[in-house]
Amino acid sequence: MKKDYAITFFYYDDILAVAPFYEEVLKFELVLDQTMARIYRIADNSYFGLVDGNRGHLKHQEKSAVLLTIVSQDVEGWHKRMREVGVKGLSEILRGTFCEHFFFEDPAGYAIEIQRFHNPDVAKLFHV
């Protein structure tokens, strides 16, 4: 069966408190505001949503065990911007076997990673 795209949702106690972070700091494009959920375009066919954890299918958790990874060729530029705006939990840029990356948190404590696959053979696995 064909898949068209995916939307990843994070559940929050107050989505209006975190929406400015995604819209103004990360510059995600708001596609649809459903009041109890806000859906953003991260990249072509890549979507992310905020859900009111008091009204949604799942409930907001105080501590999450999920990670949103955004793949970008400009890891250094992203890191500089996140440092300038003072995001929580900003790590240094790390270089692993497959990628260079760094981590930070949104205002509610959800983990976000920015990464670039530096191995061309690995990077081409993710190109459509």
Interval 93-127: pLDDT, tens: 999 889 999 999 999 999 999 999 998 889 899 87
- For residue 28, is pLDDT > 80? yes
| Whole-number Å distance between alpha carbons of 115 and 118 | 9
pLDDT digits (tens, 9 = 90+) for 1-22: 878 889 999 999 999 999 999 9
What does pTM read for this prediction?
A: 0.89
Residue 57 has what pLDDT? 85
pLDDT at 128: 55
Higher pLDDT, 104 or 60: 104
- Map out the domains of the chain with their CATH numbers: 1-61 (3.10.180.10), 63-128 (3.30.720.110)
